[in-house]
Structure formats: C-alpha cells, structure tokens
Amino acid sequence: MQKSTRLATMFKALGDPTRLRIFTFLRACCCPVAIEETGDVRPVLGASVGEVCCQVTGSDRITSTISFHLKALRQAGLIRMERRGKQMICSICGEGVAALIAYLQQPIPPSGSDCCEVNTPAPREEAQMQKGASE
C-alpha cells in the first residue's frame, strides 16, 4: 500500500466518532501492568473486545457495530487484535501511530515556496495598481 493511501486510510478510520472513541480508550488503557483485587500483578497489553464494547456502548455484549469499527481500525493499521484463550485482545499498533506522528511532524513548506502557485502581479503591475488606487 502506498504511503499516502495508508495515511488516508488511517485518517478516515479516525474520522469516525465511534472509532476515535475506541482508539482513545485503547490508547489510554495500554499500561504495562494491572493490579488485581487480590494484589496480584499481571501484564496488560490491551483490552478485550468486551471491555471495548462496555466502554464505548455501555453494554457488556459485543455488538456487530463495535466489531465493524474494530475491523476498520485494524485494517488501517492503528490497532492490533490477538486471540488469548477465549478472548480477543485489542491494543494500539505503535508502528501505525508512529507513521501518523511522523506525517504530522513534517515541516510545512514556507510561504513562497514552489508548493503552491499564487497569482501575484509583477512588481510593475503592482505599482500601477497601487497608484490607481490612490488617485
């Protein structure tokens, strides 16, 4: 997939409010460890699809709508989905996020560069226009 097509797919995926909420939730919940009520520490590398559903819709049932949105985010390269036992675990895809960050951090060309043609009058025409405006 071309770089511009990949970026467009990512931005399109994040352009949907539900997918943006899912992505934001997954970004916030990816922490290195979780402490259980028993005091046990376990690694957390993502949220289950059920946890995503509960967070986004308020329901503990997985809906086809959430599955559709997760698929779009996965195909855009923004999240990963991995089966662990009976659960599907979702997590942010660091490479996809890095590609977005790299794109957004590219310097913007200074005005007057060759990126855009601007129809500016030649200096002589500009002087005549200013002279005509002052009369």
Q: What is the spatial distance between Cα 70 and Cα 92, in angstroms, rounded to a whole number?
A: 11
81, 52 Cβ separation under 8 angstroms: no
The pTM of the full predicted model, rounded to 2 decimals, is: 0.65
3-105 CATH, one of 1.20.1260.10, 1.10.10.10, 3.20.20.70, 1.10.287.70 = 1.10.10.10
Mind listing the pLDDT tens digit for each residue in 37-56?
Answer: 565 555 656 777 777 777 77
Is the predicted pLDDT of residue 120 greater than 60, yes or no? no
pLDDT of residue 35: 44
